[in-house]
Amino acid sequence: SNMSWRKDLFVPGSLYKAKHEFHVAVGELCSFQKGEVLKFIRDYYSPYDGESSYEFVSELDGTTKYWALPDNEEAEFWKNYFEIV
């Protein structure tokens, strides 16, 4: 699998909290709840889609969820959605 060209955006094994409710379509629709705590697993890169995707596991129910960051967005953009726990 291709790793993202964006280095160390999230730290594997670390916990992040969703700042608000949002929905992301990365292959499937993933819903994040306000205050939901998620453990970051790994990142992927899709040159075809022009975006990096990030795999999390919800501490709430153990489901796998993905969040995507388009290449044309600044790296700091993630802070609009998540905060470090």
User: What are the CB-based long-range contacts (under 8 Å, 24+) for 7-10?
Assistant: 9/43, 9/52, 9/54, 9/69, 9/75, 9/78, 10/40, 10/43, 10/54, 10/78, 10/82
Confidence of residue 5 (pLDDT cuts 50, 70, 90): confident
Confidence of residue 39 (pLDDT cuts 50, 70, 90): very high
pLDDT at position 80 is 95
pTM, whole model, 2 decimals?
0.89
pLDDT digits (tens, 9 = 90+) for 47-77: 888 999 999 999 999 999 999 999 999 989 9
